Structure 1
Amino acid sequence: MRIVEANFMESAQSIQDSPSPDKAEVAFLGRSNVGKSSLLNTLTNRKGLAKSSSTPGKTQLINYFNIKFKTDKEAMPFLYARFVDLPGFGYAKVSKSLKRDWNSNLTGYLEQRPCLQIFVHLIDSRHIGLEIDKNVDEFLKATKRGDQIIINAFTKIDKLKKNDLQKLKRNNPDGIFISNLKKQGVIDLQNKITEYLFGN
């Protein structure tokens, strides 16, 4: 199974003005500057699909993308889902009131969106164990419904020494290990997503 189409659908400030929950959704979330936009572009093979910014924390909206998958089954040649690019957390230079609203809207989406099936938590492989990532992990585990899964995806592994990468893999046997630069781990992530959403 592979992605054959990916298109920007719309942006929303909160769950209230989000599109109808009529497709399974995969939410990508991570600390600002973790490489989220780059990963979405690599995963969908669309260079400018998700806009990355040189200013960490600039993305403040929930961005929805329609994704079309090609299968090898004649009876159902195409399957559909949505990828959701969530605002990065940490680093954002915004006012306290905006940050409060932003966090509230993000929490509302994560806790209440009925079609949300997969959380992809992106973690910079060079900075493991940061308090902010621990907090997000704890929040997701406490929020997760029985029909949802969390995928921990470690980014920028090309910047690690071989020994450090081996240690990271040993300590996180269920993780996905990604280098956008070398396109490593991207197919692993796609396969994990499609297997959960659609089965084998």
Structure 2
Amino acid sequence: MTKEHWDVIRAEFITSAVRAEQYPKPYLPEVAFIGRSNVGKSSLINSVCRRNGLARVSSSPGKTQTLNFYRLDAKRVTEQAEDRTQFYLVDLPGYGFAKTNHKNKEQWSGFIRKYLEEAPNLALVCQLMDIRHQLMESDIEAYKWMRECGLNIHVVLTKADKLSRNAAMSQRAAFKKALGLADEQITAYSVLQPTMRLDFINRIMAALTADSEVTLEE
């Protein structure tokens, strides 16, 4: 028997925003993606949604300068029924901007912090880190700050396909130990492995449905 699992069946870009009044309606549960510039957020979003080009991939760090909202439809087929849910995936600007001036850094940092501190429908923050590198100070600072805000955080180690299986497992263990994470709080992700995609989607859906059942908007 096939294991029951969630899958994203539709995704579309909705809007960009920098202020609360610009956030989209209707209000839906939200999952935010954040990480250092050039960590691979766009590639991860395209992989999760199975939509090449949905999020634009760029070699220029700091390209994302607004909160970008995508509406995702997810489906799970069980023996009893077919469940559907809808939520927003929110792509946040990277921290550690490489090509911006100090004034812009402060402005962006301000609206990112405001969103993370005040977003009432934020169910999960996926913090992306490049598995090929050592844990960076900016990653640690961002993680600790979000923990202090009481946010539910899942660490995603991107670009796992760039390492051998053993090297990726070793790096995952090192990140897990350094941040004091439980096994279910960290994922090593490769855009080339469909099983990783489904497992990650199920982790997202577990966070979204932890407190209440989310139903698809008519």
TM-score scaled by length of structure 2: 0.83
Shift, 1:183, TM fit: 4.5
- Residue in structure 2 matching 1:169, options 169, 172, 181: 172
- Residue in structure 1 matching 2:156, options 153, 157, 171: 153
Alignment of 1:92-107 (within 5 A): 92-107=98-113
Moved more, 160-169 or 58-67: 160-169
* CA-to-aligned-CA distance 1:36-83 (integer Å, 9 cap, x gap): 000000000111111122211011010001111122257664211110
Q: What letter is aligned with 2:14?
A: M
Change (3 A) 1:183 1:32: farther
**Percent identity at matched positions?**
35
Task: Provide the C-alpha distance between the structure 1 equivalents of 2:81 and 2:27, rounded to a whole number of angstroms.
Answer: 21
Alignment of 1:109-188 (within 5 A): 109-144=115-150, 148-171=151-174, 172=176, 173=183, 174-183=185-194, 185-188=196-199
Task: Provide the C-alpha distance between the structure 2 equivalents of 1:34 and 1:42, rounded to a whole number of angstroms.
Answer: 14
Task: Tell me the matched-pair count.
Answer: 197
* CA-to-aligned-CA distance 1:134-181 (integer Å, 9 cap, x gap): 11111110112xxx5210000111222444322223342331011124
Q: Which sections of structure 1, spanning at least 5 residues, go unmatched?
A: none
Task: Provide the C-alpha distance between the structure 2 equivalents of 1:184 and 1:39, rounded to a whole number of angstroms.
Answer: 14
Asked if the contact 1:117–1:197 (Cα under 8 Å) also holds between the matched residues in 2, the reply is yes
Are 1:89 and 2:95 matched, yes or no?
A: yes
Task: Provide the C-alpha distance between the structure 2 equivalents of 1:19 and 1:162, rounded to a whole number of angstroms.
Answer: 40
Change (3 A) 1:69 1:163: closer
CA RMSD in angstroms, aligned pairs only: 2.0
1:192 paired residue number? 203
- Residue in structure 1 matching 2:37, options 32, 38, 61: 32
Task: Provide the C-alpha distance between the structure 2 equivalents of 1:184 and 1:31, rounded to a whole number of angstroms.
Answer: 25
2:3 paired residue number? none
Partner SS for 2:190:
coil
* CA-to-aligned-CA distance 1:110-152 (integer Å, 9 cap, x gap): 11000001000000001132101011111110112xxx52100
Shift, 1:88, TM fit: 1.1
Asked if the contact 1:178–1:184 (Cα under 8 Å) also holds between the matched residues in 2, the reply is no
Partner SS for 2:191:
coil
Q: What letter is aligned with 1:192?
A: R
Task: Provide the C-alpha distance between the structure 2 equivalents of 1:128 and 1:190, rounded to a whole number of angstroms.
Answer: 26
| Structure 1 segments of 4+ aligned residues over 3 angstroms from their partners | 73-77, 181-184
Partner SS for 2:77:
coil
TM-score scaled by length of structure 1: 0.90
Are 1:46 and 2:51 matched, yes or no?
A: yes
